[in-house]
Amino acid sequence: MAKIVRINMTKKEVLVEAVPEKYFMLGGRGLTSQVILDEVDPLCHPLGKNNKLVIASGLLTGTTAPSSGRISIGAKSPLTGGIKESNAGGTVSRKLARLGIKAIIVEGQPEEKEMYIVKIDKNEIVLLPASGLENMGNYDTVKYLKKVHGNDVGVVSIGQAGEMLLSIASIAVTDMEGLPTRHCGRGGLGAVMGSKGIKAIVVDDEGASEQLLEIKDKEGFTAIGRNLAKTLIETKVGLKNFGTASLVDPVAAIGALPSRNYSSGDFAGKEKINGQALQNFILEKGGKYGHSCSPGCVIRCSNVVHNKDGEYLTSGLEYETLGLCGSNLEIDDLNVIGTISFKCDDYGIDTMETGVAIGIAMEAGVLTFGNGDEAIKLIDEIAEGTTLGKVLGQGATVTGKVLGVKRIPAVKGQAFAAYDPRAMKGNAYTYATTPMGADHTAGNALPGRGAWVGPVDPNKKDNYQEASRDLQIFATVLDVMGFCNFVGISPVEGEIIAQLLSKVTGEEYTLDDVKEIGMKTIKCEIKFNRLAGFTKADDRLPEFINEELLPPKNLKNDITDQEFDEVFNL
Amino acid sequence: MAKIVRINMTKKEVLVEAVPEKYFMLGGRGLTSQVILDEVDPLCHPLGKNNKLVIASGLLTGTTAPSSGRISIGAKSPLTGGIKESNAGGTVSRKLARLGIKAIIVEGQPEEKEMYIVKIDKNEIVLLPASGLENMGNYDTVKYLKKVHGNDVGVVSIGQAGEMLLSIASIAVTDMEGLPTRHCGRGGLGAVMGSKGIKAIVVDDEGASEQLLEIKDKEGFTAIGRNLAKTLIETKVGLKNFGTASLVDPVAAIGALPSRNYSSGDFAGKEKINGQALQNFILEKGGKYGHSCSPGCVIRCSNVVHNKDGEYLTSGLEYETLGLCGSNLEIDDLNVIGTISFKCDDYGIDTMETGVAIGIAMEAGVLTFGNGDEAIKLIDEIAEGTTLGKVLGQGATVTGKVLGVKRIPAVKGQAFAAYDPRAMKGNAYTYATTPMGADHTAGNALPGRGAWVGPVDPNKKDNYQEASRDLQIFATVLDVMGFCNFVGISPVEGEIIAQLLSKVTGEEYTLDDVKEIGMKTIKCEIKFNRLAGFTKADDRLPEFINEELLPPKNLKNDITDQEFDEVFNL
């Protein structure tokens, strides 16, 4: 029987609860957001005892559907002050599903600073003291926990940053190799986990074989999943060969690749960090491309990167990191960007928020654009807890305020992803209107995406209002299901999901029903944010996006307030 | 003829405009707030070219009404992100009135960092380069400007902090001795002035004799003013003898004197910093009490304080500074608190926001409660621009975030005044609901105040909803008129103002008409804030006020959200 695990860190008490019926058909982001709306005071301090950290497998995680193993983590965000969900691949989601755990709700907090390990296996869920792990990075933490609890466990953990309650702290999830490389990066959820006094959650699914989701027509479901897998394998060859780094060229081509703290949309060194360059680097130094980040993923866009000396450097070197810690900082050295990626993963900080914050510090003259050594040193300062490190640790918006930089590329207090919205109008809509802050995964209008609503030239706003709305809805559906974003955010995949859900329930699901699932979650998130004090004034891009022309295409924002408000009309 | 001076700092252009009729009966805060609502995009960056700095004399400034010489300065605040007005005494307001200048509106900003002096006399208004004054404190700036422009000029200026665009930067106004001791302290208006590239405004009223306000019945007006003056002289003896320091004892008695970053409402060293202690200190070391802060003030609550060696230390050592830089930091040495006051005035920072931010840094362990030397050193760091100084320079809220302190005594991003709202329910209402952030001058429910609505025990919320509303309305009226807060925030003074306005206009003003003046301004401010993204969720006290019991009376907030919302029902 599917269950919810409720961990009260004030009382150090673990309760196992039945799943309320209203949560049966929710999973992932749909479930985390609904629990937060149901249980969290929108005005609570994000790092206080009244916030809750909710961890949920996708609705389809553990089934035969391909690429459905993502794990969603949600809370009121210390970065945005609003609701937040951030999801990652890795092995833990499927392990939780096999243990029949639909969600973990962590509430309360220890009176004094104490850190614990939550150990979950098929027999029990216990809290163990995290003695000896204090102030330890994710890599060593996971290494230690695997030594104690077995090599096959999955681990959700925080590094130094989460313990330090930094608003850029991420939550790491172990990957297929058992390394803490998959991160729920955005929104400072690592700080919420730290504030609860939890250093790591160790999940051992040995001997477990529960089925989270009851499927009425298993054979029919598996057949549809198999077809989907076949399509994904056939169509995502570019991602398999070049990873998300394959985005560098097309994003630069439309003039949206951030450079020099979002003062340019192109970068002279782009060919040193693009998909081909990364593939060459991997072929030369060792490592791997075409690598799955979670079990059952057939897209295999991930990679393992070795350093210039041929030793393990980092895993999952992604476009967002290349864009925000590379081109945005004018750094074109893959060895340096890989080092940044590793350190961010180890300290447990979001590479995206970190890259943007460093770009702001560079604009302020604290360090120099293009200087990788200085950037690495500054990242070390974050973990060391110097005053400057603490400033960066609060993210781009606070860094800009403290260092006196007005060009702060952020919405709702969260930094832009690696697409300048002046040259990518679809993401202008998405950044401004998603309840999540300037996320790309909330509805990434990549070149070509959204074409079902009509012609979509990324530089022109034309059809992007409707396209962004659709993309946001479909992206949310994927997040609910536990599907990876690359399964596809379009009506085509929406139809497939409708078919899958029909097989699950034995009832006919239409595309509209599927869209309704996405919209229901978005509405729930907007409701929370409104109660937390957000208004339409928060659904706006920063002033410089309206005023400064972005070279090389010399574009600025031309979407009106009304057009932003019409995306959801809520 | 009354005029408005519009200074465009992009074009370096000064325009003199007629006063639009709708502004005729507005002055002070009423005028600054209305101009900001009329002319400033609520979503603009507070330190960008689209914000405006508005300086206005009170409606009655320059008339024979006593204690009516305050100057209001307003803008969108870099501290709160909402509308802000902050007013001060000093000599400039009356000089502007004598020059017939009802308001100065500064707009635009230089492309590059350049600093200017605005020189105003009866013949012309010119922009002069501020060469040699860069990074100079207010005391030296004023000394220099008086040497160049004559000893009798009035000066509005910023210190290092305003030039550094710190959100705690104040604007100094010269006092009766020509020293920069009267400050529009709150909300970071000094940073807005700095962002406009204006180091100082020098006002020379020699030979000027304009009358800002046309008064229909001058004799009748003067007679009422004379009566008011007589009453003030007779009833404000305590303020004359002990200054605002006379509040230390009664506020401590009700358990609302902040100590140890608002973790206690009483302070063991209170007798070393109370009214009697300050009077003794002045009598012993030299200096002066019973001193007027602006021409025509008969209340004379100000002082000049000499240091332990008998030399000039500071002027206008006020209760808020004693509470926030004294008891709140567990500092009980008047020489130290006076030094802090002087340095804050010189660097141009708000003693209140600074005191609260330092209290937070003390709670974080950056320095030690009670250690005056460390506190002074930290204030020096603000002007030096160290990273820690820059953090403190962004005020209490950012300091708390960066240093990881959850007890942040602030509303709308602005620190509490020196009254803990748990033990002073009237100020709980005022802090939460004034559009200004946690100001005391917005409607200070001092013990006894508000009694016209019924019994008012400061520890009980009883009648304070209505009392706070009335106090906020009457306080706003005083701010519109240019009256000092100590003229009195009650229906009694409301009636007197009605009589004065009747004599001005020749039309019958009632108490209700006067309240309508206050309410109109408050509505205008709330409207701006709503457009800037504020909601009722911003009309709340921080979570710890609802949860932590405040010793010695062990009180916490018991006012409900609904009760807060009913204050203005807007």
Q: How confident is the model at residue B273, as a pLDDT?
A: 98
Residue A570 in this model has a pLDDT that exceeds 90: no
Look at residues A58, A97, A63 and name the one whose alpha carbon lies nearest to residue A74.
A58
Q: How confident is the model at residue A139, as a pLDDT?
A: 98
Which tokens sit at A64?
């035969």
Residue A462 in this model has a pLDDT that exceeds 90: yes
Nearest residue in A to B535, CA atom: A533
Which tokens sit at A507?
């009832």
Beta carbons of A398 and B402 less than 8 Å apart: yes
Q: Residue A353, Cα to own-chain centre: how many angstroms?
A: 11
Which of B172-205 are b and which e, b meaning 16 or more Cβ less than 10 Å from the residue's Cβ?
A: bbbbbebbbbbbbbbbbbbbbbbbbbbbbbbbbb
Arithmetic mean of pLDDT, A9-15: 98
What is the share, in percent, of chain A residues with pLDDT greater than 90?
98
Distance, in Å, from the CA atom of A216 to the CA atom of A218, rounded to the nearest integer, reads: 6
Chains A and B form CB pairs within 8 A to the count of 81
CB-based contact A334:A278 (threshold 8 Å): yes
A401 touches chain B (CB under 8 A): yes
Q: In Å, how far are A311, A316, A379 from A338, measured between CA atoms?
A: 12, 9, 13
What is residue B459's three-state secondary structure? coil
User: Å from B39 to nearest chain A CA?
Assistant: 17
Arithmetic mean of pLDDT, B8-22: 97
A549 touches chain B (CB under 8 A): no
Nearest residue in A to B388, CA atom: A387
Residue A140 in this model has a pLDDT that exceeds 90: yes
User: Å from A353 to nearest chain B CA?
Assistant: 15
Provide the 8-state DSSP code for B322: I
Q: pLDDT band for position B296 (50/70/90)?
A: confident
pLDDT digits (tens, 9 = 90+) for B185-236: 999 999 999 999 999 999 999 999 999 999 999 999 999 999 999 999 999 9
Look at residues A126, A120, A69, A70 and name the one whose alpha carbon lies nearest to residue A99.
A120
- For residue A390, the chain B residues in CB contact (below 8 A) are 391, 402-404
Q: How confident is the model at residue B570, as a pLDDT?
A: 86
pLDDT digits (tens, 9 = 90+) for A48-59: 999 999 999 999
pLDDT digits (tens, 9 = 90+) for A154-182: 999 999 999 999 999 999 999 999 999 99
Interface probe with B: pick from A40, A77, A401, most Cβ of B within 10 Å: A401
Provide the 8-state DSSP code for A488: -
Question: DSSP for B468-513?
Answer: HHHHHHHHHHHHHHT--GGG--SHHHHHHHHHHHHHHHSS---HHH
Q: pLDDT band for position A394 (50/70/90)?
A: very high
What is residue B458's three-state secondary structure? coil
Residue among A45, A401, A406 minimizing CB distance to B48: A406
What is residue B221's three-state secondary structure? helix
Beta carbons of B537 and A406 less than 8 Å apart: no
Question: Can the peptide bond before residue B409 be classed as cis, meaning omega within 30 degrees of 0?
Answer: no
Q: How confident is the model at residue A251, as a pLDDT?
A: 98
User: Å from A382 to nearest chain B CA?
Assistant: 11
Q: How confident is the model at residue A285, as a pLDDT?
A: 95
Beta carbons of A398 and B403 less than 8 Å apart: no
Which tokens sit at B479?
């701010």
Residue A207 in this model has a pLDDT that exceeds 90: yes
The number of beta carbons lying within 10 Å of the beta carbon of residue B247 is 25
| Cβ-proximal residues to A325 (8 Å cutoff; 6+ apart), any chain | A331, A337, A340, A341, A344, A351, A354, A355, A358, A375
Number of H helices, E strands in chain B: 21, 17
pLDDT digits (tens, 9 = 90+) for A94-111: 999 999 999 999 999 999
Which tokens sit at B301?
């609550």
Look at residues B53, B47, B18 and name the one whose alpha carbon lies nearest to residue B35.
B53
Interface probe with B: pick from A402, A541, A560, most Cβ of B within 10 Å: A402
Which tokens sit at A431?
């950044």
Q: pLDDT band for position B468 (50/70/90)?
A: very high
Helix locations, A11-137, DSSP H: 28-39, 92-98
Q: pLDDT band for position A296 (50/70/90)?
A: confident
A163 touches chain B (CB under 8 A): no
Q: Which residue has the tokens 């002096």?
A: B117
What is residue B436's three-state secondary structure? coil
Q: How confident is the model at residue B203, as a pLDDT?
A: 98
Q: How confident is the model at residue A79, as a pLDDT?
A: 98
Which tokens sit at A7?
């961990």
- For residue A530, the chain B residues in CB contact (below 8 A) are 535
Distance, in Å, from the CA atom of A276 to the CA atom of B202, rounded to the nearest integer, reads: 63
Distance, in Å, from the CA atom of B474 to the CA atom of B462, rounded to the nearest integer, reads: 20
- For residue A543, the chain B residues in CB contact (below 8 A) are 43-45, 48, 50
| Cβ-proximal residues to B292 (8 Å cutoff; 6+ apart), any chain | B176, B298, B299, B300, B302
Distance, in Å, from the CA atom of A233 to the CA atom of A292, rounded to the nearest integer, reads: 12
Name the CA radius of gyration of chain B, rounded: 21
pLDDT digits (tens, 9 = 90+) for B32-76: 999 999 999 999 999 999 999 999 999 999 999 999 999 999 999
Q: How confident is the model at residue B249, as a pLDDT?
A: 98
Q: Which residue has the tokens 């992206």?
A: A475
Q: How confident is the model at residue A410, as a pLDDT?
A: 98
Which of B303-329 are b and which e, b meaning 16 or more Cβ less than 10 Å from the residue's Cβ?
A: bbbbbeeeebbbbbbbbbbbbbbbbbb
The number of beta carbons lying within 10 Å of the beta carbon of residue B383 is 22
The answer for B290, left when phi > 0, alpha when psi is -120 to 50, beta otherwise, is left
β-strand partners of A349 = A169
Arithmetic mean of pLDDT, A400-427: 98
Q: How confident is the model at residue B1, as a pLDDT?
A: 79
Q: What is the mean pLDDT of chain B?
A: 97
Residue A1 in this model has a pLDDT that exceeds 90: no
User: Strand pairing of A198-203 and A116-120?
Assistant: parallel
Residue among A391, A535, A540 minimizing CB distance to B402: A391
What is residue A210's three-state secondary structure? coil
Q: How confident is the model at residue A90, as a pLDDT?
A: 97
Beta carbons of A47 and B406 less than 8 Å apart: yes
| Cβ-proximal residues to A250 (8 Å cutoff; 6+ apart), any chain | A446, A447
Sign of CA pseudo-dihedral A152, A158, A159, A163 = negative
Return the axis-axis angle of helices A511-531 and A491-505, rounded to nearest 10°: 100
pLDDT digits (tens, 9 = 90+) for B498-524: 999 999 999 999 999 999 999 999 999
Q: What is the mean pLDDT of chain A?
A: 97
Residue A428 in this model has a pLDDT that exceeds 90: yes
pLDDT digits (tens, 9 = 90+) for B392-435: 999 999 999 999 999 999 999 999 999 999 999 999 999 999 99
- For residue B47, the chain A residues in CB contact (below 8 A) are 406
